[in-house]
Amino acid sequence: MTPPTALIAEDEPLLADDLRAQLAAAWPGLRIAAVAGSGTAAVALALQHRPQVCFLDIRMPGLTGLEAAQAITEDWPDEAGALPLFVFVTAYDQYALQAFDAAAADYLLKPVTAARLAQSVARLQARLARPAPAAADATLDSLRQLLAQAVAPAPRLRHLQAAVGDAVELVPVDELVYLEAADKYVRAVTATREYWVRVSLRELLPQLDPARFWQVHRGTVVHIDAVARALRQDNGTVLLQLRQRPERLTASRVHAARFKAL
């Protein structure tokens, strides 16, 4: 029988080593497939190694543990089977008081004790012994709720500030067709032009009206009024035709359900 595998995401090397050692004692049959030092690395390594369990620190550079879990859920390939079981590790028990069970198999408070880890291992082993396909859309809904609780509400943007040569141009948010992530920048596209804005999509998204700007992929947000037609694809995604732009956008499987009524 193939041994179960896990990923550890922790930006403090000593804490990562300690969790790895404790897991070796509490769960000798578990194989650690990878250790990530940031949320961004955790996503890449999870998609590469496809572990059955992900231990994700809440506070990490790049992406938080919650954001990493959301990204893994969105990009998890069909052929990989069930989603990983997420275990969130946090020093802030405010998170433990939230409804983690809806999105995670368990949570661990730092410092992780042997007794608490043994309980978590037993729960994980029971879940793996009776695998049930995780519903990606339900998991994403729960993660979005947790992220909304973890982030203070931001004021709604009316304009984006885009550098154009030596000037700063104010782009009305109402004129945007879609936004596309590009590392530390966002490509903001209107009907006739595109702009590069030095901000991450993760920082920008809470400032947009969620009723008008829909996230259709981890790296793409579309102004819903700019969508003319949504075409279902055989692989479960949805192809979006825009009113004023020739390109087509793809809504990933986990976001495709938003277009079922269109």
Q: What percent of the chain has pLDDT over 90?
A: 50
CATH number of the structural domain spanning residue 201: 2.40.50.1020
Whether residues 107 and 177 share a domain: the answer is no
Whether residues 166 and 86 share a domain: the answer is no
CATH number of the structural domain spanning residue 107: 3.40.50.2300
How many beta carbons lie within 10 A of that of residue 113, not counting itself?
A: 12
Whether residues 205 and 78 share a domain: the answer is no
Whether residues 116 and 185 share a domain: the answer is no
Asked if residue 154 has pLDDT above 90, the reply is no
Whether residues 163 and 141 share a domain: the answer is no
The reported pTM is 0.66
pLDDT reported for residue 99: 41
Whether residues 23 and 61 share a domain: the answer is yes
**Total number of domains in the chain:** 2
Angstrom distance (rounded) from CA 100 to CA 86: 10
Whether residues 117 and 138 share a domain: the answer is yes
Both tokens of 91, joined, read: 């020093």
Whether residues 166 and 138 share a domain: the answer is no
Model confidence pLDDT, tens digit, residues 157-207: 899 999 888 888 999 999 999 999 987 899 999 999 999 998 888 778 878
Within 13 Å and on the Cβ side, how many CA atoms surround 154?
Answer: 16
